[in-house]
């Protein structure tokens, strides 16, 4: 199943599950289906993160061109509030955000193309998030902006002062301080 969010470039994908008395089987990614229905993307790296505590916020992250990444995100254990922010300068939805709750049980995945910042907040302890990306990690292109930027105003499920952040994420600038990235 495929669902386009309020910013139509962001897509929720719910793979089919085939269940029986042993459990279930699901194709979580099939290149031909993805290209025909979502985007012409080539994935080159898979990433896995573990967040020990509920209220952990990772983001809002992106890679600058020419190493910009599209991401296909899913939650393998627990649940997250997954966010994409449009950073495409001149886009009618520039600076707007969309979000979805992704759970291990539900199996939904979110496609976030290049030109968007991505972040998530864990909704419970010991959350594992897996994502495929269209460009390899590049430290010199790695960037982000503050998860609590008031101009973007993401409605996170955790109060900003209670969010658990990395030192790197604590020092990120606001979106309007980045200039034109995409």
Residue 145 domain-assigned?
Answer: yes
Point out the catalytic residue in the list 29, 118, 131, 137.
131
pLDDT of residue 88: 98
Kindly report the CATH number assigned to the domain that includes residue 166.
2.60.120.10
Summarised one tens digit per residue, pLDDT across range 135-176 is 999 999 999 999 999 999 999 999 999 999 999 999 999 999
Task: Supply 111's token pair.
Answer: 């496609």
Answer yes or no: 61 catalytic: yes
Range(s) of the domain holding residue 146: 2-177
> Please, which contacts does 149-154 make with residues 24 or more away whose CB atoms are closer than 8 Å?
149/60, 149/174, 149/175, 150/174, 151/95, 151/175, 151/176, 152/60, 152/85, 152/95, 152/96, 152/97, 154/60, 154/83, 154/85, 154/97, 154/99, 154/119
Residue 182 domain-assigned?
Answer: no
Domains of the chain: total: 1
Residue 93 domain-assigned?
Answer: yes
Summarised one tens digit per residue, pLDDT across range 95-145 is 999 999 999 999 999 999 999 999 999 999 999 999 999 999 999 999 999
Which residue, among 41, 53, 25, has the nearest Cα to 113 in the 3D structure? 41
**How sure is the predictor about 87, in pLDDT bands with cuts at 50, 70 and 90?**
very high
Answer yes or no: 141 catalytic: no
Residue 15 domain-assigned?
Answer: yes
Point out the catalytic residue in the list 24, 29, 61, 137.
61
């Amino acid at each position: 199943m495929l669902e386009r969010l309020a910013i139509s470039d962001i897509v929720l994908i719910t793979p089919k599950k085939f269940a029986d008395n042993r459990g279930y089987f699901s194709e979580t990614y099939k290149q031909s289906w993805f290209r025909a229905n979502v985007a012409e993307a080539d994935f080159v790296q898979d990433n896995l993160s573990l967040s020990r505590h509920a209220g952990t916020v990772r983001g809002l992250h992106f890679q600058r061109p020419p190493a910009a990444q599209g991401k296909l995100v899913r939650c393998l254990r627990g649940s997250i509030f997954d966010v994409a922010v449009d950073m495409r300068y001149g886009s009618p939805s520039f600076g707007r955000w969309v979000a979805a709750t992704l759970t291990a049980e539900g199996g939904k995945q979110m496609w976030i193309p290049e030109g968007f910042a991505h972040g998530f907040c864990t909704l419970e302890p010991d959350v594992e998030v897996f994502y495929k990306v269209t460009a390899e990690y590049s430290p010199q292109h790695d960037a982000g902006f503050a998860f609590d930027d008031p101009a973007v105003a993401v409605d996170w499920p955790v109060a900003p002062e209670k969010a658990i952040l990395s030192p790197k994420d604590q020092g990120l600038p606001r979106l309007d301080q980045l200039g034109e990235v995409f």
